[in-house]
Structure 1
Amino acid sequence: MPDSDRDRSPWHIVWTYVRAYWHWPVLLVMGIYVYQQYMPSIELAAEGRPAPTVAAETLEGDRFRLEDHRGEVVVVNVWATWCPPCRVEMPGFVDLQREFEDAGVQFVGIAVDRGGAEAVRPFVEEKGVNFPQIVDPGLAARHFPGEAVPRTYLIDRQGRIRYEHSGVILKWALDDALERLVREGQ
């Protein structure tokens, strides 16, 4: 077989890419490992400040009122479909909603996409998001202001914001904090 034909074989092309880009998956795994090792555990505020009064229509057309969830632990996540860290943390939130549903924990998302429901609905359906989503950048700006997304807020059973975080939050760290808040209210 002439050299020119061998150079175009599928295996040669694959091997060329593997040799050229092998370091990217290794660096990704190393980065995740380091992040998990050094991300501090969530420190809950002793008292916290009162959560805002929030009432809005969800993506499904239902009415969501934060005060209706007094007596539950509420996780508010301000996010966007165009935000890579938001997309990374969403599957963990879906898992945690399922795991803590019977313990009195309610997640709610506030999407800040300017494209509205048309931009958010396909993502929510594709990822199987199992908690209410509010699509309202103005609501997020008024009640949960901040410069960055994602932003996550933990609200205790008495309606006090006990923790807020800008940036991606990993499932294991949030799991631990939710367990502590659930035990607190028992």
Structure 2
Amino acid sequence: MVKQLLLTFFIVSSSMLNAQTIRKPVTAILGWSHAGQQQDYLMGLDIGVMDETERFHYFITIDARPYKRKVQEFAGNNVFYQYQEERYVLTLGTRYLHELQSSGKGVFVGLSGGYNFGNYRGISLKPEQGWIIRPNAGFFWNLAPQFFTLELGYEYFDSRSDTVKDHWVFLNFLFKLNDNG
């Protein structure tokens, strides 16, 4: 009797449940970025994920200057000291992509926040560092939609340097690591 009640309960309850939709897993992304302007250049690595619609990217970025830049610090009384500066930027961000008419091309807007820091080679004095916000916008092109996307854009980035402007252009090579179509 108990077996029949359990069997009846199972059949009735399973018929009342709705089938769940199977969600596509998130896609892991790896990006190689280049940001520059006339006075400075940064190269970086982006690691993150795309949601199942592939419209939102969430990522962490580490950018570094691949060379030591010579900077002059004013010491007062017409005295300047020249240092070799290293610069690093660690950010956490998101980006929204809007594809135009299913063409594989489109526009994006994004926002990153993080920490900008560096050091002067050979001494304990540090350049100005601190928290930053990096808004950006630009164009993207899915060259190989299952594997590769190219992003070209503009970003506002306060590098905490008196001689470097806050307006940057960047190029990002974005690789999809586990896209399941």
TM over 0.5: no
More helix by share: 1
TM-score, normalising length: structure 1: 0.26
**Larger relative contact order (Cα-Cα within 8 Å, sequence gap ≥ 6):** 1
